Chains A and B, each alone.
Chain A
Amino acid sequence: ILNVEQSPQSLHVQEGDSTNFTCSFPSSNFYALHWYRWETAKSPEALFVMTLNGDEKKKGRISATLNTKEGYSYLYIKGSQPEDSATYLCAFSTGNQFYFGTGTSLTVIP
C-alpha cells in the first residue's frame, strides 16, 4: 500500500480568504496525480489531473501545482466561498491503481 498524505485534515476559513492544502505522494512509479472535490451527499467530482512535473492547472478560483521530483501537489483556492465547502481528495496513480489520501475537509464560514 502506497502512502498518500494530505494536510491539513480539516480547515475552517472565512468567506473571501484564500487557502491552500497539500498532497504528498511517493516520487517513484508516478503516472498521474488527481484532485477531486467531494461535497456532502454527492459524488466526488474530478477537478484536475496532472501528469508532468511542473504542471499547473486552473479552474476558476481553484488551481493546482505538481512537483513529481519531491512528491507533492498543492491545491489553492482564491477568495473562498461557502460553496467551496467540501472534502478535497488527491489520488496518486501508478497507471494501474489509484491511491487516495485521507482528504482535507474545508469549511468556508459566511
Chain B
Amino acid sequence: DVKVTQSSRYLVKRTGEKVFLECVQDMDHENMFWYRQDPGLGLRLIYFSYDVKMKEKGDIPEGYSVSREKKERFSLILESASTNQTSMYLCASSFQMIETGPYGYTFGSGTRLTVV
C-alpha cells in the first residue's frame, strides 16, 4: 500500500523552539508539498518541491523553511515556533502533473501541532 508518512500525529512545542516536521513517501513522486489547515481557511500551501534540493515558496512561507535532501523525504522546519503556527500540517506528494496527466495528491494523515 503506497503511503505518505508523517512522523508525528500530535506535537506540543514551546514558543521559540525549533520544530521539525518530517514527511516520507514511497511512491517515487517528484513533487512534495506542505500545507496547513485552519478552520474556515482551507488548505494553504506553505512550501513545495519539484525535485531533490529544490524548493519553492507557497502562499504562506513566512516563519517556515524546508529541506529536501532525498527524493522521498521533505521536511518542514519552524525556525522559532510561535502560537500562530498552531495548526494541522499536511504533507502531500504527486507525480509531475503536466508530464503524466492530472494525477492528484497522495496525502499524509497530518500532524496537529500545538505551540504553547
Contact for A44 among B41, B98, B103, B107, CB less than 8 A: B107
Count contacts between A and B, CB distance < 8 Å: 55
When the two chains form the complex, which single residue of B48, B102, B109, B110 contacts A93, counting CB atoms closer than 8 Å?
A: B102
Q: Which of A31, A44, A97, A102 contacts B102 (CB 8 A)?
A: A31
| Contact across chains for A32 and B42 when beta carbons are under 8 A apart | no
| Dominant SS among interface residues on chain A | loop
Are A98 and B105 CB-contacts (below 8 A) given A44-B90, A103-B42?
yes
CA distance A46 to B109 in the complex (A): 13
Give the interface residue-count category, chain B. Answer: 20 to 34
Binding site for A on B (CB under 8 A): 4, 9, 35, 40-43, 45, 48, 59, 90, 97-98, 102-110
Identify which of residues 52-110 in chain A touch chain B, using a CB-to-CB cut-off of 8 Å.
Answer: 89, 91, 93, 95-98, 100-103
Find A95's partner among B35, B90, B98 (CB 8 Å cutoff): B98
- The interface of chain A, by Cβ under 8 A from chain B, is 1, 4, 9, 31-32, 34, 36, 41-44, 46, 49, 51, 89, 91, 93, 95-98, 100-103
- Of all chain B residues, which has the CB nearest A4? B42
